[in-house]
Structure 1
Amino acid sequence: MSQQVQKNGVILAKPMFVTFDAYGTLYTPKKPIHELYCSFAIEHGIIPESSDIQVYEQRFLSAFKNNFSKYPNYGKNVVGPIRLPQLDDWWDLVIRDTFDLSHGGEVASTTYTFVQDLLADFKSTKVYDSFDDVVPLLDWLRHHHIPMGVASNTDRNAIDVLNLFGFLKWFSPENIFLSYDMDVLKPDKLFFDKIRQAATPDEVAPSSCWHIGDELSKDFTAAYNAGWSSILVDRQNKHGFFGSQMGKLRSRIVNDRQVVVRDLKEVSNVFGATE
């Protein structure tokens, strides 16, 4: 590979290190989270079958936001009257707040079983699917000896899900960067600075580090603002980069450090231009 190449008349940097967002990029829930929560709640008799499921969408979002505000970073290093020694203790709070379940006193056995089963199932194929365009790209990158990593705003439960789909064989432990461990969140520039310092030699330019993700602000724009090159994978044309040509275009080069693709299969074509 050369250091720079042209694709459609635009010069792109050679990929020396590639990171992936996890949730929404490598894997995805089979249904919206609040619907999955409610399905389990109905099964365990926590809410009736006649419940308005959409009400719980806002309840879940509020529970997540409020607990992340009170106990930042999934409760890591929390001090004070409430201690959350285990990661699942933080998610326990979110689940109970979503369904207005008691936090103290004697816990009903059905409530305890519901929470524990829900936590366990969120590390299983009952909840998540992987995208079928992931493995071909990971194989292509490995074949071309391009180092890879995971860079995601999430907790360590993500490692269980990555392992569930066999993705860990492509990512070495030292190249899995989670906001939980890093104590910083995307879109903060420091998130990407820390990764580059830890994973690449000093001579590797920021623009030769590529980040791939599905979120416009936290992945595509944030990596770009940190000096990286970035790829937005937009499988449903959610952000409108393909306009009315969604069925025809497979990728769109926005500038010399930003590319939008329909799926991950197209990334090898983008990077292949650097060979």
Structure 2
Amino acid sequence: MAQPHQTQQLPLTLSQEGLDPPQVIFLDAVGTLFGVRGSVGEVYRDFTRQQTGIELDAEATNTAFYEAFDAAPPAEFPELITQKKPGSFLLEQEFNWWLAIAQDTFSRLGVLVQFPDFQNFFEHLFAYFATADPWIIYPDVRPTLRHWRQQGIELGIVSNFDSRLYTVVDSLDLAQFFTSVTISTRVGAAKPNPQVWYSALAAHNCPPEAAWHIGDSYREDVEGAIAAGLRGIWLNRP
């Protein structure tokens, strides 16, 4: 079984450290390729103020969001895959999953009752996160992706995001680098479940031992990838 490798920026010369170049490199999305501009709390604060005039404390909002996020079930809907439901059912499930987290977040802040129509407000917030505006690409990303593509290495994304990821990656002008984008909600399994990597590997006709996965979560990205037979690389950004 492959051992984890740790780095504080996207690796450019891992082959010089005794690692053979892979056929495919998979990367996590949020926290690896791009992150929230500032913090979730700051984005929520600014968006809420602009849309409703309700004032939030950014730090408290950030804490409440991650508490709600950690308490939520995995973003995976295997019953939709099994039942072969239309895509509209999946999009509705994704929206409702995030709606529950947002309601929990604002409830923890004690301001949920101040919204006359919270679902309508959240529809706009949900759509906002499908644009490029709340995101920032880490400076090491583009040079690294270009370097790998020049080496002939295939690239893919494996993420526990949702279907908005396609739009976000495209709006950030990153889609050009990737052959595949594998999302937990569309596979019916979320990292660290190995099944999400098996689906991604199938898209490249690649055996696990010929692939790397890089991500910022040790449990989800590194341990999950290793369990699936890939080399897991921890991107431990400062």
Q: TM-score, normalised by structure 1?
A: 0.65
* 2:218 corresponds to 1:216: yes
Aligned with residue 145 of structure 2, among 111, 120, 138: 138
1:73 corresponds to: 76
The match for 1:13 is: 20
For each residue in 1:79-99, what CA deviation from the matched residue of structure 2 results, as whole angstroms up to 9, or x when unmatched?
xxxx88623343333323322
Shift in alpha-carbon separation, 1:131–1:46, aligned structure 2, 3 A:
same
Q: Does 1:55 align with 2:60?
A: yes
Name 1:199's counterpart in structure 2: 204
RMSD over aligned CA atoms reads: 3.2
Structure 1 residue 96 corresponds to structure 2 residue 98: no
Matched, 1:162 2:169: yes
- Conserved in 2, the CA contact under 8 Å of 1:214 and 1:232? yes
Deviation at 1:32, TM superposition (A): 2.0
Identity of aligned residues (%): 26
In structure 1, what is the Cα distance between the partners aligned to 2:91 and 2:174? 28
How far residue 122 of structure 1 moved from its aligned partner, in angstroms, is: 1.1
2: CA distance between counterparts of 1:114 and 1:213?
A: 32
- Say how many residue pairs are matched: 213
Correspondence for 1:127? 134
Counterpart amino acid of 2:215? G
Whose relative contact order is higher, 1 or 2, with alpha carbons under 8 Å and at least 6 apart? 2
Aligned to 2:227: 225
Kindly provide the CA deviation profile for residues 89-132 of structure 1, in whole angstroms up to 9, marking residues without a partner as x: 43333323322436xxxx836x4553233122212233101112
1:235 corresponds to: 237
Please give the secondary structure, in 2, of the residue aligned with 1:73. Answer: coil
Which residue matches 1:28? 35
Structure 1 residues 178-229: Cα deviation after superposition (integer angstroms, max 9, x where no partner): 111111111122332332234224xx4x222111112222112322232211
CA contact (8 A) 1:76 1:84 kept: no
Matches of 1:228 and 1:159, distance apart in 2: 24
- Distance of aligned partners of 1:89 and 1:13 in 2 relative to their CA distance in 1, 3 Å threshold: same
1:149 aligned counterpart, secondary structure: strand
Q: Deviations over 1:19-41 (max 9, x none)?
A: 11111111100122133212222
> How far is the alpha carbon of 1:177 from its aligned partner?
0.8
Contact 2:45 2:57 in 1 (8 A): no
- Consecutive unaligned residues in structure 2, runs of 5 or more: 1-13, 81-88
* 3-state secondary structure, aligned to 1:232: strand
Higher helix share: 2
Q: Is 1:184 equivalent to 2:189 in the alignment?
A: yes
What is the match of residue 148 of structure 1?
155
Q: Which has the larger radius of gyration?
A: 1
Paired with 1:190 and 1:92, the residues of 2 have a C-alpha distance of 26
Question: Which deviates the most, 155-164 or 214-223?
Answer: 214-223
- SS of residue paired to 1:210: strand
Other-structure match for 1:257: none
How much has 1:61 moved relative to structure 2?
3.2
Supply the AA of the counterpart residue of 2:103: R
Distance 1:64 1:7, change over 3 A: closer
Q: Distance in 2 between matches of 1:167 and 1:52?
A: 33
Quick one: distance in 1 between partners of 2:226 and 2:134? 32
